[in-house]
Amino acid sequence: MTSRKKEARLHEAHPYQVGYGKPPEHTRFCKGQSGNPGGRPAGMTAGRAKALVLEEAYRMVRVEDGDGVVAVPAIQAILRSQIVLASKGNGPAQRAVVAAVQAIEEEMERKARASDTQRQIALLLAREREAPNKTLPGSARSVSGDAPCAAAANSSSGPPKEERK
């Protein structure tokens, strides 16, 4: 009988049983209030990770140089140590340094070729604007494409046709 009395008193204080998935009323969220008013904390997104890597790569670190201590970006310090390892005969370091140098040289060569091509196109366009009726050597049409080449017009087979008026 005593357990029924205790249970009855509990029901008076709490109209339902408090337990798993049933928090007390005073700890529940009020109506209209979000469960997380501050929002989800910002996690590590791809963009944020890249920004963090760049920030750390360009952070200044102190490195012992021949004469004393020098402040350089962290990426430069890493490259220096990689090149020192490569010069001491470390095979993986040598391959990494050579691959990095080759990639940079190829990119520079690609950019140089692109700029040379653009320069050549600009030169050809400038020449065309200066002399629109001149023909290119070995072509049957002029640069501008408006008038046929004189040699091509005169090389027609057969006798010249009379003009009709």
In the predicted model, is pLDDT for residue 129 greater than 80?
yes
**pLDDT tens digit string along 41-60?**
667 788 888 999 999 999 99
Q: What is the mean pLDDT of the chain?
A: 79
- DSSP-derived 3-state class of residue 148: strand
Q: How far apart are CA 119 and CA 27, in angstroms?
A: 74
**pLDDT tens digit string along 116-128?**
898 889 888 888 8
Q: 77: how many CB neighbours lie within 10 A of its CB?
A: 17
As a whole number, mean pLDDT of residues 82-88 equals 95
Query: pLDDT category, 80, cuts 50, 70, 90?
Result: very high
Rounded to two decimals, what is the model's pTM?
Answer: 0.45
Q: What is the DSSP string of 78-116?
A: HHHHHHHHHHTT-HHHHHHHHHHHHHHHHHHHHHHHHHH
- DSSP-derived 3-state class of residue 40: coil
Q: How far apart are CA 141 and CA 150, in angstroms?
A: 9
As a whole number, mean pLDDT of residues 72-97 equals 95
